[in-house]
C-alpha cells in the first residue's frame, strides 16, 4: 500500500493509474477506521480497479465548541486496517498542506444543508463540501463511495458532484451496525458503560417508526411522536427526529422512500442515525464490533 502525504504526489499517482486504463475509486474519511469504513473499501473494490482512502480530520467542518481536538485518531492502526483490507493508496495530507491559508472561496451547500445537521451545526456542510471538492480535485476519482450513515451529507455530496459537474459517480453504501443495532461511528469510542447502552435508543426509535409505518400509519406527525417517545430514554437528550425525502424536505405522506433521521446526545457524545423506511434497519449489515 502506498501512503502519500503530498497533494501533488496523490494527483500524480491517480493520473498515472488512470492513464493505464484503471478505474480509481475513492473513500474519503476522517480516520479512526472501523468496519463501516472498511465495508466502503470492499464496495469500492467491486466497482473500481484501485482504491484510494483519505484520512483527514477537516477543521473546516467543526464548530468552535465541537470535538476537533478530541476527535479520535490512530494512524498506525488505520494504516494496518487499510493495508489488510487491500487499500492501494492511503492519502494522509496534513492541515497545512490542505489549507496553506484559510480558504476564502468555499462551496455553498444550498437549502438541503439548512435543516437537521445543518441547523444543529452551522457552517458544517460548507466545511464538508469544501474539503470534499478539494479531495475530488486532488484524487480525481472515477467513483467515490460514501456512507448512508451520514444521510444528509451523502445526499449533499451527490448534489455537489452533479451540480458542479465533477464527472464522477457517487455511490451510497448502507449503514453498518453492531449486532445490537448501534450504527458504527468513530465517535462510539467516547461511549462508556451506561452511555453505550443508552445509545441504543437511536436505532430503537428508528425501528419503532418503521414498525408503526409497516402497521399502516402514513401520517408523519404520529410517526414522529412514536419515534420521539422511544428516543426519550434515560441518559438520552433527543435533538431531532424528522421524516424527509432525499432533498431533506419534510414529507406530508410517508412512503417507502421516506427517510427517518435522528440525532441525540448521549452523555457528552452527539450521535446520528437514520433509516430508509422501505429498506428497514434490519436490512443494514450487522457486525460484531
In the complex, which residues of this chain contact ligand AMP (CB under 6 A)? 29-30, 36-37, 40, 146-147, 149-150, 173, 175-176, 183-186
**CB of residue 280 to ligand AMP, shortest distance in Å:** 15
Q: Which residues of 245-271 are buried (b: 16+ CB within 10 A; e: fewer)?
A: eeebeebeebeeebbbbbbbebbebbb
**CB of residue 40 to ligand AMP, shortest distance in Å:** 6
- What is the number of other CB atoms lying within 10 angstroms of the CB of residue 158? 18
Partner residues linked to 178 by β-bridges:
287
- The active-site residue, picked from 2, 34, 37, 124, is 37
In the complex with ligand AMP, the residue whose CB is nearer, 51 or 146, is 146
CA-only gyration radius of the chain, Å: 19
Closest residue to ligand AMP in the complex (CB)? 147
**Residue entry with cell 502525504:** 5
In the complex with ligand AMP, the residue whose CB is nearer, 98 or 184, is 184
**CB of residue 185 to ligand AMP, shortest distance in Å:** 5
> Nearest Cα to 186, choosing from 52, 67, 286, 274?
67
**Residue entry with cell 460514501:** 146
In the complex with ligand AMP, the residue whose CB is nearer, 174 or 222, is 174
Q: 2 an active-site residue? A: no
**Residues in the chain, total:** 289
Distance (Å, rounded) from C-alpha 55 to C-alpha 5? 10
In the complex with ligand AMP, the residue whose CB is nearer, 161 or 254, is 161
**CB of residue 69 to ligand AMP, shortest distance in Å:** 17
In the complex with ligand AMP, the residue whose CB is nearer, 10 or 254, is 10
**CB of residue 146 to ligand AMP, shortest distance in Å:** 4
**CB of residue 28 to ligand AMP, shortest distance in Å:** 6
In the complex with ligand AMP, the residue whose CB is nearer, 1 or 30, is 30
Q: Annotated active-site positions, please? A: 37
Amino acid at each position: 500500500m502506498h501512503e502519500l502525504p503530498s497533494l501533488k504526489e496523490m494527483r500524480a499517482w491517480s493520473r498515472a493509474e488512470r492513464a493505464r486504463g484503471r478505474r480509481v475509486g475513492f473513500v474519503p474519511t476522517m480516520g479512526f477506521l472501523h468496519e463501516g469504513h472498511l465495508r466502503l473499501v470492499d464496495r469500492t473494490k467491486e466497482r473500481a480497479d484501485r482504491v484510494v482512502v483519505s484520512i483527514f480530520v477537516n477543521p473546516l467542518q467543526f464548530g468552535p465548541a465541537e470535538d476537533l481536538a478530541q476527535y479520535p485518531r490512530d494512524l498506525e492502526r488505520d494504516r494496518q486496517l487499510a493495508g489488510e483490507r487491500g487499500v492501494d493508496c492511503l492519502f494522509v495530507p496534513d492541515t497545512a498542506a490542505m489549507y496553506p491559508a484559510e480558504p476564502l472561496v468555499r462551496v455553498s451547500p444550498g437549502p438541503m444543508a439548512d435543516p437537521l445537521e445543518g441547523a444543529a451545526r452551522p457552517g458544517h456542510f460548507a466545511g464538508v463540501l469544501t474539503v470534499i471538492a478539494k479531495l475530488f480535485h486532488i484524487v480525481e476519482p472515477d467513483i467515490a463511495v460514501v456512507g448512508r450513515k451520514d444521510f444528509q451529507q451523502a445526499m449533499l455530496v451527490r448534489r455537489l458532484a452533479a451540480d458542479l459537474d465533477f464527472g464522477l459517480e457517487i455511490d451510497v453504501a448502507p449503514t453498518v451496525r453492531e449486532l445490537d443495532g448501534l450504527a458504527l461511528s468513530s465517535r462510539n469510542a467516547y461511549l462508556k458503560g451506561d452511555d453505550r447502552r443508552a445509545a441504543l435508543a437511536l436505532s430503537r426509535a428508528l425501528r419503532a417508526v418503521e414498525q408503526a409505518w409497516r402497521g399502516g400509519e402514513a401520517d408523519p406527525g404520529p410517526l414522529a411522536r412514536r419515534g420521539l417517545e422511544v428516543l426519550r430514554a434515560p441518559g438520552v437528550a433527543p435533538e431531532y427526529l424528522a421524516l424527509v425525502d432525499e432533498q431533506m424536505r419534510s414529507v406530508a405522506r410517508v412512503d417507502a422512500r421516506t427517510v427517518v433521521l435522528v440525532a441525540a446526545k448521549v452523555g457528552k457524545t452527539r450521535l446520528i442515525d437514520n433509516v430508509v423506511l422501505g429498506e428497514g434497519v434490519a436490512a443494514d449489515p450487522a457486525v460484531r464490533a
